[in-house]
């Protein structure tokens, strides 16, 4: 990348910059005309100069200047005073419009140019990150890079538009004024030039330390975002180590440093400002003193002096703005350098390595010759080893942990590079092959494979998104819009690929199209032993019946079948939702709503503050009894939990009231006992407790049959009265309808599990499994499970699920050689062995490389290579 | 049956009689109430010991499978007794099955809550110890008896 910002701007926006400068030049004559016109209007028609005795004057005559021969091009119009007034006024109006339009057009062009360049710069930065070698990436803090790409380059976009146009424009203006003064009186001209020169040299000199401080500010701010990112990532470990105060101290120290820098900048900046203003004001002093002296002495006419002072008024503006521009330039340059420096890696992966090509299958396999691999400290992980991995064999890499098998596995998958020696794939050195070969024909699963914050399905398909396979289907205006967007992408030098195209290569997967995709993916999921988890996710997941009405229909059948099975047992384990009955297992809030909240308005936590609900309670006279009920709950909670320490696990498990809120309720209860009325907020808090209450679960004896009846009528009233615009916020329970806001399992159970029923969970599980198998719903539920969102970096999954998913993702790629490098380390040995058996079976006749833990059975492999102390200890 | 009734029932158990009412409420609140018909299974042999039980109403029988597959009742659990705490304490699977000998009501104290209560409520820990000591004494008696019978048979 260009080291200097100006070179970068020049290189990527030369044509646009020239266009804007030309437009500015074109606009200047109109600008000067509009400045001149008021004088003409005032002196001419208004004051009547040259209109003596109703005579007409000639306006709009156009002639070439004398030095071009003074030829008259247009003789002009003879106008009387009134006509002249209106003609000149409308001309003025016209010029105002023209100037405005010029300004608008110039600003639009500047803005577009700036945004394009900003976009290009950001893209190039990310592109460089994609081309960093792993060793470089290990030294990179993600949050810092993000802050650079997002925030630090942002001001550059604004500067790009000003980079050339501003000095051209303001410089011209200032120069005109200086020349004008010089013509009036050279001495005063020299004074003006002198002071401006002092400004021009002194101010930047004083600004220098400010710029240096600005550089520090940028660095410290970047480090701060790096640290904040680290704190978020390490949140669990910080709590586990009780080091939150250490983190607080560290952040405090950093903020203190940033404060010092910023305050220093502030102080210096205002001093410079003061000096600048002072110098601007001191010039008139010279004009008055020196100019006045000459005027008194008769060497300068009063008119000239006034004209000089008037001309000087126009000078500080442009000069000041020019100085500002210069400082902006310095600032932008520093920002640019600081960012580019960070992204200037000593060695980048060559661009053609990332070319989208379709490599053929590997024929021979991988050969490692005398390869040495070292870690960052120079310690040798592999020391001159040679071995071959045939394309269709199952090879185990064995030996003690850390003995070299891990480095060997990483080496053949291009995850590590050899310091000396060579890795040869099908006769070609691995470093010279496009990533398409190693990335598609070889799959690698390491111990901490990264999972993306998308659905399980998208994670599984990730390895197939190598290049666009089929263009996105667009028609009419959408197609035109896309075309325009791509043209703009190219203008900014962005990637030529369409993210909305279909990128998935189904041929690799072994299924032909989207329809068979989920079943196909589930095969790999099963190989990795993740199918039960996916199934569980499916049961807990939500799904939109409009997506697949047939599935919704079947799930409703499952509901009916489940009910009949459940009824045949001797004990009720599920109390069904019934519009005509109070559900004793559900909370009061759920009973009132008789549905699932969609969005926050009717969510359990907000119910007590919801206005529609409050109105309903007031109308049905339920506010009072519910408040008393909530008060009863609060009293019991305060009594039971008062003595417990705040971090006691019972709070999280059993209490309605968080430990931190206990004193609040204690005070509130005392207030109520003394007869004071509760505030609106307090009322809502107490009602909130009531809404959470379920008699069968909490057993505080606060709910009787009469109250149940009243709540039931309130439910009916609520449903009948709910205005149409509020309806979409609740998915009501309906025995004949799929409830899209509830989970699949809840839809099948369609009720609440009975508290205290022995073995309820186990029996429900049994019936559920039976019903699902009988109705053939397994695939559908698995499909919903595949839609489960893995969370940021896959954090919603357990470590074991993450490792299994990463393995499944590699299997989905259907590579020629699959390299599994300690990728199942968190699983117990039996589970590892089971998966190995299944994967080996599925990959019969294809390449497989597996690092074995000491003691793991290697019988199933064609070859075993043992590593010890970075050397091969034996091969069989 | 509300938590108040449960607290009353717990108080009828001699050991809990002196326990603070708030603590008894906590115990009741932290546990699940179970109701089983005659013949209902409270816990099964071989299952993980994830909870202890306090029998509030009715009686239960402790059943063990013999080597030849027969069920043998080895003990009766009277009302107001503690049961199943050994599996929780030792973190081993259930060594026997407990079946309701009449319709029963029991409080199920989950493993975590059980340990937490042991830590927080000294009286509760004392009750559990007393129960275990009693059972040990009972077992020792029966062992002595059996030993005596064996010696007599020699």
Distance from CA of A574 to the nearest CA of B (A): 15
CATH of the domain at A37: 1.10.287
Query: How high is the pLDDT of residue A776?
Result: 87
Chain-wide mean pLDDT for chain A?
A: 86
Shared domain for A365 and A292, answered yes or no, is no
The mean pLDDT of A93-97, rounded to a whole number, is 90
Q: Where are the beta strands (DSSP E) in A35-161?
A: 57-59, 62-63, 72-74, 77-79
**Would A618 be classed as within a structural domain?**
yes
The domains found in chain B, sorted by start residue, are: 32-153 (2.60.120.10)
- In A, what residues contact B, Cβ < 8 A? 570-571, 636, 639-644, 648-650, 653-654, 695, 698-702, 755-759
Q: Dump the DSSP string for B22-46.
A: HHHHHHHHTEEEEEE-TT-EEE-TT
**Would A467 be classed as within a structural domain?**
no
Nearest of A17, A37, A14 to residue A25 by alpha carbon = A17
Q: Given A113, A130, A147, which residue is the final one in a domain?
A: A130
Shared domain for A721 and A674, answered yes or no, is yes
What tokens were used for A589? 């809030």
Q: Is B136 in CB contact (< 8 Å) with chain A?
A: no
- Note whether A740 and A651 are within 8 A (CB): no
Range of the domain at A323: 165-349
- Note whether A421 and A368 are within 8 A (CB): yes
Q: Measured between alpha carbons, how far is A727 from A557 in angstroms, rounded to an integer? A: 26
- Helices A517-527 and A531-540, axial angle in degrees (round to 10): 130
Task: Give the pLDDT band (50/70/90) at residue B59.
Answer: very high
- Note whether A381 and A374 are within 8 A (CB): yes
Most confident of A460-464, A545-549, B22-26, B70-74: A460-464
**Would A755 be classed as within a structural domain?**
no
Instruction: Using an 8 Å CB-CB cutoff, list chain A residues near B3.
Output: 636, 698-701
Query: How high is the pLDDT of residue A512?
Result: 64
Task: Give the pLDDT band (50/70/90) at residue A157.
Answer: confident
- Note whether A391 and A369 are within 8 A (CB): no
Chain B segment 21-40 residues within 8 A of A by beta carbon are: 22, 25-26, 28-30, 32-37, 40
Chain A and chain B share a number of CB contacts under 8 A equal to: 61
Asked if the Cβ–Cβ distance from A758 to B40 is below 8 Å, we say: yes
Q: Measured between alpha carbons, how far is A407 from A187 in angstroms, rounded to an integer? A: 79
Query: Is pLDDT of A62 > 80?
Result: no
Select from B7, B9, B22 the residue whose CB has the most chain A CBs within 10 Å, as the one to mutate to test that interface.
B22
Q: Measured between alpha carbons, how far is A585 from A583 in angstroms, rounded to an integer? A: 6
User: b/e per residue, A727-743, with b = 16+ CB within 10 A?
Assistant: eebbbbbeeeebbbbbb
Nearest of A443, A451, A407 to residue A851 by alpha carbon = A407
Strands A62-63 and B71-77 turn out to be unpaired
Q: What is the pLDDT of residues A259-285, one digit of tens each?
A: 999 999 999 988 888 888 887 777 778
Query: Is pLDDT of A838 > 90?
Result: yes
Q: Measured between alpha carbons, how far is A625 from A355 in angstroms, rounded to an integer? A: 71
Asked if the Cβ–Cβ distance from B22 to A571 is below 8 Å, we say: no
**Would A860 be classed as within a structural domain?**
yes
The lowest-confidence range among A331-340, A363-372, A526-535 is: A331-340
Task: Give the pLDDT band (50/70/90) at residue A425.
Answer: very high
Q: What is the pLDDT of residues A169-200, one digit of tens each?
A: 777 777 777 777 777 778 777 877 887 788 77
Asked if the Cβ–Cβ distance from B22 to A642 is below 8 Å, we say: yes
Cite the DSSP H helix spans in A131-241.
134-137, 142-147, 154-162, 165-184, 186-233, 235-241
Shared domain for A176 and A324, answered yes or no, is yes
Q: Measured between alpha carbons, how far is B10 from B1 in angstroms, rounded to an integer? A: 13
Select from B26, B38, B105, B112 the residue whose CB has the most chain A CBs within 10 Å, as the one to mutate to test that interface.
B26
What tokens were used for A104? 């608008």
Strands B97-100 and B60-65 turn out to be antiparallel
Task: Give the pLDDT band (50/70/90) at residue B129.
Answer: confident
3-state class of B120 per DSSP? helix
Q: What is the pLDDT of residues A383-399, one digit of tens each?
A: 999 999 998 899 999 99
Shared domain for A323 and A369, answered yes or no, is no
The lowest-confidence range among B74-88, B97-111, B134-148 is: B74-88
The lowest-confidence range among A24-33, A313-322, A621-630 is: A313-322
What tokens were used for A582? 């109070």
Query: How high is the pLDDT of residue A316?
Result: 67
Beta bridge pairs of residue A132: A348
**Would A498 be classed as within a structural domain?**
no
Q: Measured between alpha carbons, how far is A541 from A785 in angstroms, rounded to an integer? A: 6
Q: Which among B6, B22, B112 has CB closest to A699?
A: B6
Higher pLDDT, A648 or A24: A24
What tokens were used for A264? 């220093």
Higher pLDDT, A666 or A69: A666
Q: Measured between alpha carbons, how far is A457 from A462 in angstroms, rounded to an integer? A: 9
Task: Give the pLDDT band (50/70/90) at residue A311.
Answer: low
Q: What is the pLDDT of residues B91-103, one digit of tens each?
A: 788 888 899 999 9
What tokens were used for A170? 């303001």
Query: Is pLDDT of A320 > 80?
Result: no
**Would A571 be classed as within a structural domain?**
no
Query: Considering chain A, what percentage of its residues have pLDDT values greater than 90?
Result: 28
Shared domain for A397 and A442, answered yes or no, is yes
Q: Which among B26, B34, B113 has CB closest to A756?
A: B34
Shared domain for A324 and A369, answered yes or no, is no
Q: Given A349, A368, A403, which residue is the final one in a domain?
A: A349
Q: Measured between alpha carbons, how far is A870 from A386 in angstroms, rounded to an integer? A: 11
Chain B segment 43-102 residues within 8 A of A by beta carbon are: none
Nearest of A175, A165, A69 to residue A109 by alpha carbon = A165
Q: Measured between alpha carbons, how far is A805 from A817 in angstroms, rounded to an integer? A: 18
Task: Give the pLDDT band (50/70/90) at residue A147.
Answer: confident
Query: How high is the pLDDT of residue B1?
Result: 62
Query: How high is the pLDDT of residue B154?
Result: 60
Torsion (CA) A124, A127, A129, A132 in degrees, nearest 10:
-110
Instruction: Using an 8 Å CB-CB cutoff, list chain A residues near B32.
Output: 755-756
Task: Give the pLDDT band (50/70/90) at residue A54.
Answer: low
Phi, then psi, of B107 in degrees rounded to 5? -100, 130
Task: Give the pLDDT band (50/70/90) at residue B134.
Answer: confident
Q: What is the pLDDT of residues A551-596, one digit of tens each?
A: 889 999 999 999 888 887 767 788 999 989 999 899 999 999 999 9
Shared domain for A112 and A184, answered yes or no, is no
Query: How high is the pLDDT of residue A260?
Result: 93
Q: What is the pLDDT of residues A458-490, one digit of tens each?
A: 999 998 888 888 888 888 888 899 889 899 898
Beta bridge pairs of residue A588: none
Please tell me which residue of chain A has the smallest CA distance to B36: A758
Nearest of A728, A441, A325, A748 to residue A577 by alpha carbon = A748
User: b/e per residue, A429-442, with b = 16+ CB within 10 A?
Assistant: ebeebbbbbbbbbb
Shared domain for A186 and A242, answered yes or no, is yes
Q: Measured between alpha carbons, how far is A93 from A87 in angstroms, rounded to an integer? A: 10
Shared domain for A371 and A317, answered yes or no, is no
Work out how many domains chain A is built from and give that number. 4
Please tell me which residue of chain A has the smallest CA distance to B119: A648
Instruction: Using an 8 Å CB-CB cutoff, list chain A residues near B36.
Output: 758
Shared domain for A88 and A174, answered yes or no, is no
The lowest-confidence range among A411-415, A712-716, B11-15 is: B11-15
**Would A81 be classed as within a structural domain?**
yes
Shared domain for A314 and A438, answered yes or no, is no
Shared domain for A662 and A728, answered yes or no, is yes
DSSP structure class, residue B17: G
Contacts from A438-442 at CB under 8 Å and sequence distance 24+?
A: A438/A413, A438/A414, A439/A466, A440/A359, A440/A466, A440/A508, A440/A813, A440/A815, A441/A359, A441/A361, A441/A362, A441/A815, A441/A816, A441/A817, A442/A362, A442/A366, A442/A412, A442/A413, A442/A414, A442/A815, A442/A816, A442/A817, A442/A818, A442/A819
Distance from CA of A513 to the nearest CA of B (A): 46
Distance from CA of A761 to the nearest CA of B (A): 13
Beta bridge pairs of residue B75: B62
Distance from CA of B1 to the nearest CA of A (A): 7
Task: Give the pLDDT band (50/70/90) at residue A647.
Answer: confident
- Note whether A428 and A422 are within 8 A (CB): no
Distance from CA of A699 to the nearest CA of B (A): 4
- Note whether A34 and A96 are within 8 A (CB): yes
Instruction: Using an 8 Å CB-CB cutoff, list chain A residues near B26.
Output: 640-641, 650
Query: Is pLDDT of A808 > 70?
Result: yes
Instruction: Using an 8 Å CB-CB cutoff, list chain B residues near A643.
Output: 22
Distance from CA of B152 to the nearest CA of A (A): 46
Q: Dump the DSSP string for A433-471.
A: S-HHHHHHHEEEE-TT----SSBHHHHHHGGGEEEEEE-
**Measured CA angle at A770 (ends A767, A771), to 5 deg:** 85
Predicted TM-score (pTM) of this structure: 0.75
**Would A712 be classed as within a structural domain?**
yes
Query: How high is the pLDDT of residue A710?
Result: 93
- Among all chains, which residue has been given the structure tokens 């442009």? A318
Phi, then psi, of A849 in degrees rounded to 5? -125, 125
Please tell me which residue of chain A has the smallest CA distance to B107: A756
Q: Is A59 exposed, middle or buried (0-12, 13-18, 19+ CB in 10 A)?
A: middle
Instruction: Using an 8 Å CB-CB cutoff, list chain B residues near A699.
Output: 1-3, 6, 28-29, 33
CATH of the domain at A388: 3.40.50.300
Q: Which among A644, A695, A756 has CB closest to B32?
A: A756
Q: Given A732, A764, A786, which residue is the final one in a domain?
A: A732
Query: How high is the pLDDT of residue A836?
Result: 94
């Amino acid at each position: 990348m260009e080291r200097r910002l100006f070179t970068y701007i020049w290189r990527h926006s030369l044509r646009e910059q020239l266009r804007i400068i030309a437009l500015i030049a074109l606009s200047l004559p109109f600008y000067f005309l509009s400045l001149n016109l008021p004088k003409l209007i005032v002196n001419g028609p208004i004051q009547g100069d040259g209109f003596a005795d109703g005579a007409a004057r000639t306006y709009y005559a156009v002639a070439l200047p004398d030095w071009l021969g003074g030829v008259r091009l247009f003789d002009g119009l003879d106008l009387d005073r009134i006509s002249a007034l209106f003609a000149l006024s409308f001309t003025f109006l016209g010029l105002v419009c023209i100037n405005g339009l010029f300004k608008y057009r110039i600003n639009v062009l500047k803005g577009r140019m700036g945004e394009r360049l900003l976009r290009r710069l950001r893209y190039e930065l990310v592109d460089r990150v994609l081309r960093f070698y792993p060793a470089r990436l290990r030294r990179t803090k993600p949050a810092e890079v993000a802050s650079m790409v997002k925030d630090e380059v942002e001001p550059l976009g604004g500067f790009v538009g000003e980079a050339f146009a501003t000095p051209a424009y303001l410089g011209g203006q200032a120069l005109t004024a200086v020349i004008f003064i010089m013509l009036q009186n050279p001495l005063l001209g020299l004074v003006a030039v002198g002071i401006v020169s002092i400004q021009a040299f002194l101010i930047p000199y004083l600004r220098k330390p400010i710029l240096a401080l600005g550089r520090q500010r940028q660095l410290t701010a970047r480090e701060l975002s790096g640290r904040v990112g680290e704190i978020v990532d390490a949140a669990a470990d910080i709590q586990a180590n009780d080091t939150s105060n250490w983190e607080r101290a560290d952040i405090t120290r950093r903020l203190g440093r940033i404060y010092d820098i910023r305050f220093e900048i502030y102080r210096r900046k205002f001093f410079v400002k003061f000096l600048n203003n002072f110098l601007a004001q001191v010039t008139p002093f010279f004009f008055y003193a020196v100019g006045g002296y000459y005027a008194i002495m008769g060497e300068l006419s009063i008119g000239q002096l006034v004209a000089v002072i008037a001309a000087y008024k126009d000078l500080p503006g442009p000069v000041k703005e020019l100085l500002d521009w210069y400082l902006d330039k310095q600032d932008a340059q520093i920002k640019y350098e600081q960012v580019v420096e960070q992204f200037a890696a000593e060695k980048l992966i060559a661009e053609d390595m990332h070319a989208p090509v379709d490599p053929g299958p590997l024929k021979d396999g991988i050969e490692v010759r005398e390869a040495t691999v070292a870690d960052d400290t120079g310690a040798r992980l592999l020391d001159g080893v040679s071995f071959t991995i045939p394309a269709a064999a199952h090879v185990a890499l064995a030996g003690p942990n850390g003995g070299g098998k891990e480095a060997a596995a990483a080496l053949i998958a291009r995850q590590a590079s050899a310091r000396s020696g060579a890795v040869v794939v099908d006769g070609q050195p691995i470093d010279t092959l496009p990533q398409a070969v190693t990335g598609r024909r070889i799959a690698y699963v390491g111990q901490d494979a990264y999972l993306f914050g998308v659905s399980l399905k998208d994670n599984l398909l990730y390895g197939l998104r190598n290049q666009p396979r089929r263009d996105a289907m667009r028609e009419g205006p959408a197609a035109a819009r896309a075309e325009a967007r791509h043209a703009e992408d190219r203008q900014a030098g962005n990637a030529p690929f369409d993210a909305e195209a279909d990128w998935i290569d189904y041929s690799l997967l072994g299924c032909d199209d989207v329809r068979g995709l989920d079943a196909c993916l589930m095969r790999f999921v099963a190989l990795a032993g993740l199918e039960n988890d996916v199934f569980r996710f499916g049961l807990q997941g939500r799904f939109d019946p409009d997506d697949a009405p047939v599935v919704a229909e079947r799930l409703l059948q499952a509901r009916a079948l489940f009910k009949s099975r459940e009824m045949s047992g001797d004990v009720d384990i599920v109390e069904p939702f019934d519009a005509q009955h109070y559900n004793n297992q559900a909370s009061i809030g759920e009973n009132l709503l008789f549905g699932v909240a969609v969005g926050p308005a009717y969510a359990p936590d907000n119910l007590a503050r919801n206005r529609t609900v409050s109105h309903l309670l007031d109308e049905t006279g339920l506010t009072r009894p519910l408040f008393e009920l909530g008060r009863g709950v609060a009293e019991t909670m305060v009594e039971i939990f008062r003595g417990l320490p705040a971090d006691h696990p019972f709070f999280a498990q059993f209490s309605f009231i968080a430990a931190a809120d206990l004193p609040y309720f204690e005070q509130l209860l005392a207030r109520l006992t003394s007869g004071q009325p509760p505030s609106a907020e307090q009322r809502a808090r107490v009602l909130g407790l009531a809404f959470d209450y379920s008699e069968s679960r909490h057993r505080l004896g606060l709910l009787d049959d009469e109250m149940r009846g009243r709540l039931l009528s309130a439910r009916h009233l609520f449903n009948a009265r709910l205005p149409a615009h509020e309806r979409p916020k609740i998915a009501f329970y309906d025995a004949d309808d799929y409830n899209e806001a509830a989970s699949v399992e809840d839809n099948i159970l369609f009720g609440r599990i009975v508290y205290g029923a022995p073995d309820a969970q186990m029996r429900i599980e049994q019936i559920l499994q039976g019903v699902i198998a009988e109705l053939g719903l397994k695939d559908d539920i698995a499909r919903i499970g595949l839609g489960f969102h893995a969370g940021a970096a896959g954090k919603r999954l357990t470590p074991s699920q993450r490792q299994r998913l990463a393995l499944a993702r590699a299997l989905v790629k259907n590579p020629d050689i699959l390299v599994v490098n300690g990728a199942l380390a968190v699983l117990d040995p039996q589970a590892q062995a089971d998966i190995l058996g299944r994967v080996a079976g599925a990959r019969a006749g294809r390449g497989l490389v597996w690092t074995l833990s000491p003691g793991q059975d290697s019988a199933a492999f064609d070859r075993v290579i043992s590593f010890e102390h970075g050397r091969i200890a034996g091969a069989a | 049956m509300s938590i108040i009734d449960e607290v009353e029932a717990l108080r009828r158990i001699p050991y809990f009689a002196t326990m603070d009412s708030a603590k008894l409420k906590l115990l009741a609140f932290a546990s699940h109430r179970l109701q089983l018909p005659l013949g209902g299974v409270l816990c099964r042999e071989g299952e993980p010991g994830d909870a202890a039980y306090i029998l509030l109403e009715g009686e239960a029988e402790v059943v063990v499978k013999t080597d030849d597959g027969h069920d043998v009742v080895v003990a009766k659990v009277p009302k107001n007794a503690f049961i199943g705490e050994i599996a929780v304490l030792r973190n081993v699977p259930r060594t026997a099955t407990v079946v309701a000998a009449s319709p029963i009501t029991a409080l199920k104290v989950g493993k975590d809550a059980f340990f937490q209560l042991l830590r927080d409520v000294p009286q509760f820990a004392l009750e559990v110890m007393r129960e275990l000591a009693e059972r040990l004494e009972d077992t020792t008696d029966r062992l002595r008896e059996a030993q005596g019978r064996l010696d007599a048979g020699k």
